[in-house]
Amino acid sequence: MILTVTLNTALDITYRTPVLVPHATHRVSEVVERPGGKGLNVARVLSALGHRTVVTGFAGGRTGDVLRELLAQCGDGRTGPSRSSMTSSTRPVDALVPIAGSTRRTIAVVDEATGDTTQLNEPGPTVSPAEWSAFLSVYDRLLTGADAVALCGSLPPGIHVGAYAELIRRARGAGVPVLLDTSGEPLRRGVAARPDLVKPNAEELARLTGSREPLRAARDARRRGAHSVVASLGADGVLAATPDGIWQATPPAPAKGNPTGAGDSAVAGLLSGLVERLPWPARLSRAVALSTATVLAPAAGEFDAEAYEDLLPRIAVTEHQAA
Amino acid sequence: MILTVTLNTALDITYRTPVLVPHATHRVSEVVERPGGKGLNVARVLSALGHRTVVTGFAGGRTGDVLRELLAQCGDGRTGPSRSSMTSSTRPVDALVPIAGSTRRTIAVVDEATGDTTQLNEPGPTVSPAEWSAFLSVYDRLLTGADAVALCGSLPPGIHVGAYAELIRRARGAGVPVLLDTSGEPLRRGVAARPDLVKPNAEELARLTGSREPLRAARDARRRGAHSVVASLGADGVLAATPDGIWQATPPAPAKGNPTGAGDSAVAGLLSGLVERLPWPARLSRAVALSTATVLAPAAGEFDAEAYEDLLPRIAVTEHQAA
């Protein structure tokens, strides 16, 4: 089983409108709701790949209720690959911890003409110390059955900035490989706790290390404590700095589409490759094929299963000479 | 008792952000939820004025649950006048009819710097024929105890465009004075059913009559069937064309602030003046003072009770020579 942690889950709401005009009134033509937060997206892709997944983190209030209902229906009558490939047996298992506060909403306003998206993210509910300790005992229990764990996304109000570092130490103590995908100070503190893998994008990596040169920055992130670093470089694919070597994996062509969730699909590719003990080049090919197939999918955050199968053998993986 | 009808109720959500930038990602700093839809706003103002009000229309789904919870708490620990002046005895009574679909959300994104607001309105749930007939029997029952009824706002999907005309005929049949505040084809059909009063803004009046000259357009709207017409002209106050004469009421100075709900406050002023049998000039002064005090209030859709008391004697009402 693969465990994903989403401390700041969200009810993702997508609106479509011809074009967003500041200070004007818009009648939105379409409303789509889906369970959101990076770890939930990762689990959905892992499930579509046939992996057993458990999601934990926090959910509360009416929006939390809606999120859990949608999570229980994952793959039922949805567009995208999940409908065909996600069965109840591979659907993410809900181990979210209830809280008094209301799960946040995120609003994505998509311009129909261009596909450009304007994002409005609520900050999320304040988590109490009692709710945090309740989560920690659930987390420790789930670790005992986990082949790997992913810690994903931002921290809600009330959670101390060293929270991911604490969760990494507990995973390492339980002997469970741990991936961290976050940004800012939580990433900095987390890296120092020596996670097995971090997956920053170029911007997050530059903020962590001060260097905009990906290879130098990735190596620096390893020196700071990350066992391996896979930096997602958008259309340039990913750059991996690992104890076994340094690779870059690139898609055959830059994909045009909605990049929402592409990073989460890459995380799912890396995690699934890790538990399947694939060699690094195969893990990276899967990560890039999945993230590219996500950009190509019509529905934000879904991946196009056919495009994935087509892309997988066509990802170029080149090994760098370690300097 | 004053009855207000809101067929397309809404959960009004307000976000604050420094400035809205299309195609950028925003972390909103504040989230406020309130029960919305024009008729609910009208009822809230009537309640704050001490009138007994009943609200009907439709509510459904999780958003409908939240709306009804907030409606039941109206005036509890709220900012604005309602906290001080709205007691449980004057709180709007919930007679909303449950539906299978989910009550829509409206999102108002307020730029903190300027106060400018970008509005995103969901279309609303589709109402089934069975739900519409269930509403009609509730409506007929409520009319028997009503001193006046206001029909407010847009029609949700599934409701025929002549719905307001039908509700006007039933109110007239029950001998209950009826005010209509809507736009487009529902307004055109409604006016033909001879409502006692319509309150279009300048734009709606121009679309109804083809004339942008308010006095001519208001007279034309009366010829089309409206017994009286009160056109809201923004900073210029209101223009009333009635069987008793023609008046214009204007505030002492143009108000700077958020116009959200100003028209609904004007409707509340006209309705309360009608049931209190005030002469037209007093009704119009109250409508203009309330709408101006709403623009001046910090919270969208609330009115500033002190500003209202201060403005009321300072509204200029001039009678036109009927040509």
Nearest chain A Cα to B22, which residue?
A: A118
| Residue range B263-274: mean pLDDT, rounded | 97
Distance, CA of B280 to CA of B273 (rounded, Å) = 8
Per-residue pLDDT band at B37 (split at 50, 70, 90): very high
Mean pLDDT, chain A, integer = 92
Per-residue pLDDT band at B116 (split at 50, 70, 90): confident
Distances (CA, A) of B71 to B12, B88, B93, B120, B285: 12, 11, 8, 22, 28
Place of tokens 């403005």: B311
Query: How far off is chain B from A228, nearest CA to CA, in Å?
Result: 29
For the ranges A27-36, A48-57, A293-302, B215-224, the lowest mean pLDDT is seen at A293-302
For the ranges A41-45, A79-83, B255-259, B298-302, the lowest mean pLDDT is seen at A79-83
Q: What is the ipTM of this complex?
A: 0.83
Q: Confirm if A290 and A266 have CB atoms less than 8 A apart.
A: yes
Element (H, E) at A262: helix A262-275
β B25-27/A197-198 pair status = unpaired
Which pTM was predicted? 0.86
Query: What is the model's pLDDT at position B284?
Result: 98
Q: Confirm if A162 and A6 have CB atoms less than 8 A apart.
A: no
Which two tokens mark B196?
């006692």
Distance, CA of B200 to CA of B187 (rounded, Å) = 9
Q: Which residue has the higher pLDDT, A228 or B114?
A: A228
Query: What is the model's pLDDT at position B322?
Result: 58
All residues of chain A having their beta carbon less than 8 Å from the beta carbon of residue B17 are 120
All residues of chain A having their beta carbon less than 8 Å from the beta carbon of residue B63 are 62
Beta strand spans in A51-191 (E): 53-60, 93-94, 97-99, 104-111, 117-121, 148-152, 178-181
A56-113 pLDDT tens trace? 999 999 999 999 999 998 765 444 444 444 555 579 999 999 999 999 999 999 998 8
All residues of chain B having their beta carbon less than 8 Å from the beta carbon of residue A65 are 62
| Residue range A233-262: mean pLDDT, rounded | 91
Of B22, B25, B123, the CB nearest to A20: B22
Q: Which residues contact A73 (CB under 8 A, 6 or more apart)?
A: none
Element (H, E) at A287: helix A280-296
All residues of chain A having their beta carbon less than 8 Å from the beta carbon of residue B109 are 120
Across the interface, whether the CB atoms of A27 and B116 are under 8 A apart is answered no
Dihedral of CA B272/B277/B280/B282: which sign?
Answer: negative
Per-residue pLDDT band at B76 (split at 50, 70, 90): low
The percentage of residues in chain A with a pLDDT greater than 70, rounded to a whole number, is 94
Q: Which residue has the higher pLDDT, A165 or A301?
A: A165
Q: Confirm if B10 and B29 have CB atoms less than 8 A apart.
A: no
- Separation of first and last alpha carbons in chain B: 37
Distance, CA of B319 to CA of A149 (rounded, Å) = 76
Domains of chain A, CATH where assigned: 2-320 (3.40.1190.20)
| Residue range A307-314: mean pLDDT, rounded | 96
Q: Confirm if B55 and B100 have CB atoms less than 8 A apart.
A: no
A257-283 pLDDT tens trace? 778 889 999 999 999 999 999 999 999
Query: What is the model's pLDDT at position B299?
Result: 73
Query: What is the model's pLDDT at position B115?
Result: 80
Which two tokens mark B210?
């083809």
| Residue range B105-116: mean pLDDT, rounded | 89
Dihedral of CA B206/B210/B212/B215: which sign?
Answer: negative
Query: What is the model's pLDDT at position A113?
Result: 83
Distance, CA of A164 to CA of A180 (rounded, Å) = 8
Q: Which residue has the higher pLDDT, A300 or B39?
A: B39
Give the active site residue among A244, A264, A304, A310.
A264
A62 in B contact zone (CB under 8 Å) = yes
Q: In whole angstroms, what separates CA B292 from the centre of its chain? A: 14
SS (H, E, C) B252-276: CCCCCCCCCCHHHHHHHHHHHHHHC
B310 in A contact zone (CB under 8 Å) = no
B26 in A contact zone (CB under 8 Å) = yes
Q: Which residue has the higher pLDDT, A255 or A72?
A: A72
Mean pLDDT, chain B, integer = 92
Q: Which residues contact A150 (CB under 8 A, 6 or more apart)?
A: A2, A3, A4, A5, A39, A42, A178, A179, A180, A181, A267, A271
Across the interface, whether the CB atoms of B28 and A62 are under 8 A apart is answered no
What single letter denotes the amino acid at residue B189?
R
Query: What is the model's pLDDT at position B89?
Result: 57
- A55 class by beta-carbon count within 10 Å (0-12 exposed, 13-18 middle, 19+ buried): buried
B205-240 pLDDT tens trace? 999 999 999 999 999 999 999 999 999 998 899 999
Give the active site residue among B116, B264, B304, B310.
B264
Nearest chain B Cα to A32, which residue?
A: B122
Q: Confirm if A75 and A36 have CB atoms less than 8 A apart.
A: no
| Residue range B241-259: mean pLDDT, rounded | 91
Query: What is the model's pLDDT at position A267?
Result: 98
Query: What is the model's pLDDT at position B207?
Result: 96
The percentage of residues in chain B with a pLDDT greater than 70, rounded to a whole number, is 94
Question: Is B116 an annotated catalytic residue?
Answer: no
Query: What is the model's pLDDT at position B47?
Result: 94
Residue A266, SS3?
helix
Dihedral of CA B165/B166/B167/B168: which sign?
Answer: positive
Q: Confirm if B96 and B55 have CB atoms less than 8 A apart.
A: yes
